[in-house]
Amino acid sequence: MNRRSSIDADGKDLPRSIGGRITDQLRVEILRGDFAPGARVSIKVLSERFNVSLSPLREALTRLGSEGLLSSDEQRGFWIAPVSASDHAEVTRLRISFERMALQEAILKGGIEWETRVMAALYRMNRIDRSIGGAEAKEAWETAHRTFHVELLAACDMPLLLQFVALLHGLSDRYRRIFLASNPPDKSSALEHERIADFAVSRRNEEAVDLLGKHIERTGNAVRKKLMATKQTIDVSNDK
């Protein structure tokens, strides 16, 4: 589930496979909301769009399915995974549990290089004003935000845990972006990110872990409240 390029013995980046590049592109588009939840994915359309055979396409779609972004069965093929308040609640609970554990370990094991990467990632994220920029600025902030959370936990030295964290963060990002499509950015998040980073590099383990959990829970509650309100509106409309 590591999304970075593979590296050879000499430390050079190896080129991504065709399926890998398609996976990356479709992942961005799904997270960005280019496809509606539940929308059917046409392999024929994608084959023509990317000018590739079925094999790399199936590789990409299967990978996205393993990440929870697509659903599939033999009869219906592939479709964009649906969204629900209950699914989001589960993702949020798991994120809190796993990321608290990872941060606790990272604070215990991380050195000066880890501290530097965390603060550099925070600085880059705070330099981007997504409230006044266009789509490019918003996408740049999303990348910086993801990088900050990755660097914050990177020193935990638990690769399997980090794989689960990456999977859950991707699912959570999708819900958060749906929320942000019709709501302004949460101003409280910037301060929380700063405090989490400060607590972490200051080795204030309990405070950092506690605030990270509260940060995930608070933002998750806001997204879920919006989801439930939207579902209620749809239900009312269908009853008329």
* 48 in Cβ contact with 149 (< 8 Å): no
Lowest-pLDDT choice from 50-59, 158-167, 230-239: 230-239
Q: Which residue has the tokens 């399997």?
A: 160
* pLDDT on residue 168: 95
Which 8-state DSSP code applies to residue 4? S
* pLDDT on residue 133: 66
Select from 1.10.10.10, 1.10.230.10, 1.10.760.10, 2.40.50.180 the CATH code of 18-80.
1.10.10.10
Average pLDDT over residues 46-68: 92
Neighbour tally for 174: CB within 10 Å: 24
Average pLDDT, the chain: 86
Please state the domain extents for the chain: 18-80, 85-239
Q: Which of 180, 222, 224, 177 is nearest to 31 (CA)?
A: 177
What pLDDT digit, counting tens, does each position of 171-229 carry? 998 898 888 777 777 788 999 999 999 999 999 999 999 999 999 999 999 888 888 87
Reported pTM: 0.81
The CATH number that domain 85-239 falls under is 1.20.120.530
Q: Which of 226, 8, 201, 51 is nearest to 113 (CA)?
A: 201
* Edge-first strand listing for the sheet containing 77-80: 40-41, 77-80, 70-73
DSSP bridge partners of 72:
78
Helix (H, G, I), strand (E, B) or coil at 150: helix
Lowest-pLDDT choice from 12-21, 77-86, 129-138: 12-21
Alpha helices in the chain (DSSP H): 18-32, 43-50, 54-66, 85-109, 112-126, 135-153, 159-180, 187-201, 205-239
Domains 18-80 and 85-239 share a fold: no
* Angle at which helices 54-66 and 43-50 cross, to 10°: 120
Neighbour tally for 116: CB within 10 Å: 12
